[in-house]
Amino acid sequence: MSTSLAHKPLTFAQRAAAATQRVAEQQQLTDLKRLAAALAELAAEEVQRNPGFAVRLRGLYEDLAPQTKVATGRATKTAKAPAKPLTPIKRIEGFEIDPSAPLDPYFQLEIYGAEQLEAALRRHTKANLHEAAEIVQDRHPGTSPAGTSKDALLAYIIAHVRT
């Protein structure tokens, strides 16, 4: 895994399966397990005979190395990231960043608009969403979320912030 804030990279098994699939489609072969074995054996022979291939192999091997490193390391796990990047619809000059302030759903609505509001809120942790729900409750006394799950909090916030 890579410390990427944008996307989750493939595991080794997924990479191997994807490469085999590419060759299978190109060569119109159907038995993927047999093809994987054939590819590995041929690659082993090619390394013996073709130094250029060996250099390319070592290069790719090095490139893939950090992924195994990170997978076992506690400190470098991949950050959870939004499924797709959000596009701000408004620029606010002079806005100050306060990481300790509660999550303000009305600010999120202003920045991302109603269509992206759910995606924008979903990036936040449940603790942040609880703070956001409290802000909504202040503006809509007598209302409350239907439950304490993330989905219930999101549904409550979105329903009231959009109105």
SS3 101: coil
Contact set for other proteins, span 5-24 (CB under 8 A): 5-7
Q: Does 71 engage in binding with other proteins (CB under 8 A)?
A: no
Q: Does 118 engage in binding with other proteins (CB under 8 A)?
A: no
Q: Does 60 engage in binding with other proteins (CB under 8 A)?
A: no
Q: Which two tokens stand for residue 67?
A: 């992924």
Q: Does 120 engage in binding with other proteins (CB under 8 A)?
A: yes
Q: Does 157 engage in binding with other proteins (CB under 8 A)?
A: no
| Sign of the CA dihedral running 53, 55, 61, 66 | negative
Q: Largest alpha-carbon pair distance within the chain?
A: 77
| Sign of the CA dihedral running 153, 160, 100, 3 | positive
Q: Which two tokens stand for residue 28?
A: 């119109």
- Euclidean distance between CA atoms 133 and 149, whole angstroms: 12
Question: Among 51-59, 87-95, 133-141, 148-156, which window interacts with other proteins (CB under 8 A)?
Answer: 87-95
Residues at the contact surface with other proteins, assessed by CB under 8 A: 2-7, 62-63, 65-66, 69-70, 73, 75-80, 82, 86, 88, 90-101, 103, 107-108, 111-112, 120, 123-125, 127-128
